Amino acid sequence: MIEFDNQNSLIDVLIYIFFFVTYGYTVFVMVSYLVLGILSVVQARKYLRRNSYTDYLNILQSPEAPTVSILAPAYNEEASIIENVRSLLSIRYPNFEVIVVNDGSRDRSLIKLIEEYQLEPVDFAVNYALATKNVKAVYKSKNPTYNNLVVVDKENGGKSDALNAAINVSTGEYTLNIDVDCILEEDCLLKLMKPFLEETEKNMIATGGVVRIANNCKIEKGRITEINVPNKLLSQFQTLEYLRSFLLGRVAWGSLDGLLLISGALGVFQKELVIACGGYDDDTIGEDMELTVRMRRYAREKDIDYVVGFVPDPLCWTEVPESWAVLRRQRNRWTRGALETLLAHKRLFLNPYYGKIGMISYPYWLLFEWLAPLIEAFGILLLVLFSLLGVINISFLYLFIALIYGYTVSFTIATLYIEEITFFQYKKRRQLLRLVLAGLLEPLIFHPFLVYCSVTGNWDYFFEGKKAWGSMKRVGFKKPSSGNKGRKITASKPSPSPKNPVRSSPAGA
Amino acid sequence: MRRFFTETYYFLVALEPRYKIVLFLVISLLILAAVMVIIVLRERSRKNSVENRERRISRSVEPIIQEIVFSEYDGGEFKDAIKKINRIVDSALYRKSNMAILNELILYYHRNLGGEAFNRLEMLYREIGLKQIALDNLRTGEWHIKAKAINDLSTMRMGESLFDILQYTDYENQNVRYEAQYAAVKLGGKKAMGFLDDLDTPMSEWQQIRLLDQSLKFEYELIDRVGKWLRSENNSVVVFGLMIMRHLNQYHEKGELRKLLYHKDEKVQEKAIETARELAYAECLENLYEVYELTKKIRIKKQILRAMGDLGGSKEVGFLRETIAREKEYDLVFEAAQSLKRMGRRDVLISYKEQELSEKGESIVKHILDDRI
């Protein structure tokens, strides 16, 4: 690939090393994805086989089902809050409460809640087990139908602060932490609680579930009634990305007990342990990943024989950005969030004391999640430079790029095949073909964009010291689209960023 | 054209080995991607064809099942109906798959019907050969097929299969084992629960909930094995025994229950206190005081305070009042105040509130006294 001069200069050697590392790294990444993919298929099949005859009625009728508190932080969600809370209240589970935290919204979120659910302030003794901003009032409904609804009104403090406040007022043994604008499957809680109840040897400290994309899906009464592939190409790219990330990546990591991230959009946690390890960290923007890593670290340091589970079923639906600008901000933030967590817990790196997370998960995140886009960007820049200087063999380079393209496309199509034989959500043939087409374009358009977002995220973190969140204004699921009995979800254009919004990330994919 | 191929051939032959390898990989991957697209589409067609077949069989079989279930069929008519169903599902290629569709259909009806219809469906299940298929699957299938077969047999209440199923209650595969245990209780009632006496493997909470759900149908019959379970080395069996004791009011093993209040396993200890409370076992209050002093676990202390609220008298009022005054732990103060309220001693809480002893205590008392929460 490199044409050396007769005399091997130092530069030639460096170039040789550069190519060796770049090609070697790429092949290593490809092989690791393949291994994770195979593990996921095995795990998903096992899960489906085990659950093909599961009857959830036993637990639905059981007085012994553990209590779960659903924690839903909300900031300026007036467009959708009423319907979303109704959807939460109609979840199938015998023993749960819904805690909505109004995190100092500047819109009519709280007033709408008070009016709709006939709320009144009560003398609630908040246990400040986790430090939070001041809780102004706690509301309960006068209507006994909603007696499992608690609304907390507090000063604005961000998503982590709102979640900590919700934990403080919760009474459940477990907490289901969600984004209030997500749509949950009716049996979501039953499926998420099953791993906790099934584990006999270890202490299950958290479980996550699969988050899917709701753009263009039909919604009726807070439930998804028709699953569609999004119309916009950008959302289709994200659909593929989510499929790969959840269906292949997290299922495999779950089976290896190596998950470092339970998505902020959907995760059940053991409350006692969350409180013991200090709750959500206010100072980070990747609070979901940070908490997962901290809980694992805490459990290990306290000699708790623990496990983190993952349910491969699609349980939660969320809208994704349909504009490049919003997506850029979102990915920039995810990069900074992951980076913060990785740096805050650098002690884990190749530390055998922490077992799999120290020896496998953390190094993997560092090398393939954080460094991969940087190495890729750096490699591309150098390749352009080398080709201008004429020190590389362009034909081989083109072939290598074609190899990566071929691999990415094959991997995407393999993901679609796995989806087809497991959860089979996209039932129309045309929709499937649209995803295949998006898969052909994705490596050429979407992937370079993600690399760019990641590089700017790193730049912002290290050189600009940025910590503020981007924004994604919600139109609310209630907005009807013509010709549909239900409604279809479409993300709106972005709005100027609020100072500290509770919600802006659909899911840490 | 021939020249083109010849030139391409010589071009490829002349390539360096590393080029050949990468080119080969690229072409293979692209072919693989194309093949996978075809496989996905074929899979889609296969699914569609199965769904169509399912619809067709349902359309033809459902009226016959409904006839059998809702009409007074005599023996001859019943046999004719079975012949008809057999003709519908008979196929050289798809018999196995058709029988699976039929199986699901009958199970569906069975779950949603009761009374005489129940019995007729069970008879149909036997006569049509589905029971035999399930038994064959149980003997020869992989773990998930075994588990599904047991599940089907228990759903269809095939009591005569109990002996076959009981052999799997301690099976190495957890899923098969759990299904067999559940089926044993469902088909054999309390007599079949003997497998718990010497069960070595742990039962998950999920499994305990399932077994309890079945056991609740025994409706307060005396279960004399409970004592054995409470003495078991297997903590999950002990916890299950406590659950049975509590939900089926098994008062006869109170002595064992008292011992379990001191059990070293937190979960067992917690369940024992809960059971003592639910069974109104006031004689154990002295033991509870002792355990309260001995334990450092907040969960256990909370359970004890709760039990005192249900079982206690004036002595416990004093203890609870003192707990509110001296405890620093929020959960314990809260539990003590709640117990006082349950005992009907609002007066104690109100007097406490008026004394304004501590801000935290006062806010908890206010909370407890607020009936809207």
DSSP 8-state class, residue A148: T
Per-residue pLDDT, A487: 45
- Please give the residue of chain B at the shortest CA–CA distance from A195: B206
Q: How confident is the model at residue B347 (pLDDT cuts 50, 70, 90)?
A: confident
Per-residue pLDDT, A190: 93
Q: Are B270 and B302 in contact (CB under 8 A)?
A: no
Give the strand pairing for A68-74 and A174-178. Answer: parallel
Query: pTM (2 decimals)?
Result: 0.87
Nearest to A35 by CA among A364, A330, A310: A364
In percent, the amount of chain A with pLDDT more than 70 equals 90
- Using an 8 Å CB-CB cutoff, list chain A residues near B204: 197-200
C-alpha count within 13 angstroms, C-beta hemisphere, residue A299: 23
Of A63, A400, A406, the CB nearest to B29: A406
Per-residue pLDDT, A396: 75
Size of interface A-B (CB pairs under 8 A): 124
Interface test with A, best of B204, B277, B335 (most A CBs within 10 A): B204
d(C-alpha A445, C-alpha A449), whole Å: 7
Interface test with B, best of A2, A60, A64 (most B CBs within 10 A): A64
Q: How confident is the model at residue B236 (pLDDT cuts 50, 70, 90)?
A: very high
Q: Is the pLDDT of residue A33 over 60?
A: yes
Choose the weakest-confidence range: A267-281, A450-464, B219-233. Answer: B219-233
Q: Which residue type sits at B5?
A: F
Q: Is the pLDDT of residue A417 over 70?
A: yes
Q: Are A267 and A207 in contact (CB under 8 A)?
A: yes
Of A142, A409, A413, the CB nearest to B40: A413
pLDDT tens, B111-154?
887 777 788 888 889 988 899 999 999 999 899 999 999 999 99
In percent, the amount of chain B with pLDDT more than 90 equals 41
Which of A24-38, A389-403, B299-313: highest mean pLDDT?
B299-313
**Minimum distance, in Å, between the CA of residue A311 and any CA atom of chain B:** 16
- Please give the residue of chain B at the shortest CA–CA distance from A435: B37
Strand partners, A122: A138
Q: How confident is the model at residue B5 (pLDDT cuts 50, 70, 90)?
A: confident
Q: How confident is the model at residue A320 (pLDDT cuts 50, 70, 90)?
A: very high
Nearest to B209 by CA among B182, B229, B232: B182
Q: How confident is the model at residue B240 (pLDDT cuts 50, 70, 90)?
A: very high
C-alpha count within 13 angstroms, C-beta hemisphere, residue A357: 26
Choose the weakest-confidence range: A157-166, A322-331, B16-25, B56-65. Answer: B16-25
The tokens of B204 are what? 């998950």
**Minimum distance, in Å, between the CA of residue B76 and any CA atom of chain A:** 34
Q: What is the mean pLDDT of chain A?
A: 86
Say which residue, A307 or A471, is predicted with more confidence. A307
Strand partners, A224: A219
Strand partners, A102: A74, A153
pLDDT tens, A115-167?
999 999 999 988 889 999 999 999 999 999 999 999 999 999 999 999 999 99
Q: How confident is the model at residue B37 (pLDDT cuts 50, 70, 90)?
A: confident
pLDDT tens, A222-271?
788 899 999 999 999 999 999 999 888 899 999 999 999 998 889 999 99
pLDDT tens, A4-16?
455 567 777 877 7
Of A1, A395, A403, the CB nearest to B25: A403
Q: How confident is the model at residue A483 (pLDDT cuts 50, 70, 90)?
A: very low
Q: Is the pLDDT of residue B320 over 80?
A: yes
Are B33 and A50 inside 8 Å of each other by CB? no
Of A53, A63, A140, the CB nearest to B151: A53
Q: Are A417 and A411 in contact (CB under 8 A)?
A: no
Q: Are A334 and A457 in contact (CB under 8 A)?
A: yes
Say which residue, B269 or A470, is predicted with more confidence. B269
Are A125 and B334 inside 8 Å of each other by CB? yes
Strand partners, A71: A99, A177
Say which residue, A458 or A17, is predicted with more confidence. A458
**Minimum distance, in Å, between the CA of residue B203 and any CA atom of chain A:** 7
Are A410 and B206 inside 8 Å of each other by CB? no
- Mean pLDDT, rounded, for B83-108: 84
Per-residue pLDDT, B370: 84
Q: Are A297 and A345 in contact (CB under 8 A)?
A: yes
Q: Are A348 and A354 in contact (CB under 8 A)?
A: yes
Are A416 and B40 inside 8 Å of each other by CB? yes
Per-residue pLDDT, A466: 67
Q: Are A105 and B354 in contact (CB under 8 A)?
A: no
Are A200 and B33 inside 8 Å of each other by CB? no
- Mean pLDDT, rounded, for A277-301: 92
Strand partners, A68: A96, A174
Say which residue, B148 or B98, is predicted with more confidence. B148
Q: Is the pLDDT of residue A492 over 50?
A: no
- Mean pLDDT, rounded, for B101-118: 84
- Please give the residue of chain B at the shortest CA–CA distance from A140: B373
Interface test with B, best of A123, A199, A436 (most B CBs within 10 A): A123
Q: How confident is the model at residue A498 (pLDDT cuts 50, 70, 90)?
A: very low
- Mean pLDDT, rounded, for B159-164: 92
Which of A127-136, A468-477, B56-65, B113-122: highest mean pLDDT?
A127-136
The tokens of A299 are what? 């459990």
Alpha carbon B100 to its chain centroid, in Å, reads 24
This complex has an ipTM of 0.86
- Mean pLDDT, rounded, for A271-290: 92
Q: Are A415 and A376 in contact (CB under 8 A)?
A: no
pLDDT tens, A205-214?
999 999 999 9
- Mean pLDDT, rounded, for A55-63: 84
Per-residue pLDDT, A71: 96
- Using an 8 Å CB-CB cutoff, list chain A residues near B147: 50, 53
Residue A250, CA distances (Å) to A187, A254, A308 in order: 21, 6, 11
